């Protein structure tokens, strides 16, 4: 269970992106829904310890995520909204590179890991292809493979379905649902169906405030 308490963040330009957010996120798929500018990415980046809140705490079970960022990054997988890859590098080589960055040093171990991950996201057959030739859906599945290096206990996925066609979207969401059976997955999105289709719990934020949290159908009925 991820427990967020009294999280607030005001940027240097005066925008209050997070206003006293408190939220419990149990194991499984959790949807964070809100319009553009609501504060979803700010919350995702803060949980991923990529930016500091002004106030508040974040705990995963008994661990304080903000206290030891290095330890947090070891147990966290993150697919940012703007996920950059080198277009001229093959999927296999790029994933190997990400594994090095995550501290998997032994070459043989990396080879096994890269193969297992590429198979899991169904990109093994196209492993030699350059990332620049991938469709949006393939790129997002590659992004998930990268986020799963190191067996994370918490996976954060920021607006992953924007720009995917319906088939790619379904394929991608099914993959996330599989992962959500094992670990906490937080999916941020402005698309209601992403949440109603596969999340067990959800929250809605607007203008940096938590508007409601609960089970998707209950929550949406309450709107």
What tokens were used for 34? 């809100």
Identify which of 85, 83, 10 has the alpha carbon closest to the alpha carbon of residue 46: 10
CB of 52 to ligand ADP, least distance (A): 9
Largest CA distance in the chain: 53
- The residue (of 40 and 201) whose beta carbon lies closer to ligand ADP is 40
Q: Binders of ligand ADP: how many residues, by CB under 6 A?
A: 13
- Residue 223 makes contact with ligand ADP by CB under 6 A: no
Question: Any idea how long the chain is?
Answer: 223
First to last CA, the chain: 26
What radius of gyration, in Å, describes the C-alpha atoms of the chain? Answer: 17
- The residue (of 39 and 180) whose beta carbon lies closer to ligand ADP is 39
**Per-residue binding letters, 4-43, with ligand ADP (x by CB under 6 A):** -------xxx-x-x----------------x-xxxxxxx-
- Residue 206 makes contact with ligand ADP by CB under 6 A: no
Residues making contact with ligand ADP (CB under 6 A): 11-13, 15, 17, 34, 36-42
């Amino acid at each position: 269970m991820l427990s967020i308490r009294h999280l607030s963040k005001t940027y240097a330009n005066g925008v209050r992106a997070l206003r006293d957010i408190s939220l419990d996120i149990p194991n499984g798929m959790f949807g964070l829904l809100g319009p553009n500018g609501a504060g979803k990415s700010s919350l995702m980046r803060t949980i991923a310890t990529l930016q500091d809140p002004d106030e508040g705490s974040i705990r995963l079970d008994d661990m304080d995520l903000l206290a030891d960022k290095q330890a947090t990054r070891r147990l966290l997988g993150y697919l940012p909204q703007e996920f950059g890859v080198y277009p001229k590098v093959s999927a296999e080589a790029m994933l190997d590179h990400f594994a090095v960055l995550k501290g998997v040093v032994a070459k043989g171990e990396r080879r096994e890991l890269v193969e297992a991950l590429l198979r899991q996201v169904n990109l093994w057959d196209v492993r030699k292809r350059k990332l620049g030739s991938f469709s949006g859906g393939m790129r997002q599945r590659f992004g998930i493979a990268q986020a799963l290096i190191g067996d994370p206990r918490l996976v954060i996925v920021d607006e992953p379905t924007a720009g995917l066609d319906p088939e790619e979207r379904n394929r991608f969401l099914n993959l996330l649902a599989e992962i959500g059976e094992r670990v906490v997955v937080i999916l941020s999105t402005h698309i209601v169906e992403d949440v109603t289709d596969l999340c067990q719990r959800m929250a809605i934020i607007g203008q940096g405030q938590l508007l409601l949290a609960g089970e998707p159908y209950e929550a949406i009925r309450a709107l």
